[in-house]
């Protein structure tokens, strides 16, 4: 696996990441996530992507549970996540209100 530096952070991340957009929630459970994450890790991936909106927040929960089960040392992987859309209507209402000033 090829790795690249992530900005000036000092982190080295795999050029390929395991993204959980269409793989968690209704598609797979924690057990299957453990299998997928293990295969990714065995392939050299240390970079895992998520977002609060994936499967209504379930993707983050499932990935977290799977990594906890795997017991990987925290220094050995990087997780990115995105927070913007919000899972609740009141979050979007606040964003729209703030944008209007």
Structural domain harbouring 69: 3-100
pTM for this predicted structure: 0.77
Confidence of residue 85 (pLDDT cuts 50, 70, 90): low
**Alpha-carbon span 8 to 74, nearest angstrom:** 20
Quick one: DSSP state of residue 59?
H
Higher pLDDT, 16 or 101: 16
Mean residue pLDDT across the chain: 86
pLDDT surpasses 60 at 24: no
Q: Are 49 and 80 in contact (CB under 8 A)?
A: yes
Give the active site residues. Answer: 54
pLDDT in tens, 42-65: 999 999 999 888 887 888 889 999
The total domain count for the chain is 1
State residue 27's pLDDT score.
75
CB 64 within 8 Å of CB 98 = no
Is the pLDDT score of 2 beyond 90?
A: yes
């Amino acid at each position: 696996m090829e790795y690249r530096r992530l900005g000036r952070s000092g982190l080295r991340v795999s050029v390929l990441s395991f993204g959980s957009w269409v793989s968690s929630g209704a598609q797979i459970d924690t057990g299957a996530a453990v299998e997928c994450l293990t295969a990714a890790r065995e392939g050299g991936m240390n970079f895992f992507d998520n977002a609060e909106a994936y499967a209504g927040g379930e993707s983050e929960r499932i990935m977290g549970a799977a990594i906890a089960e795997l017991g990987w040392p925290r220094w050995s992987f990087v997780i990115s996540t995105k927070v913007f859309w919000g899972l609740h209507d009141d979050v979007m209402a606040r964003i729209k209100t703030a944008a209007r000033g």
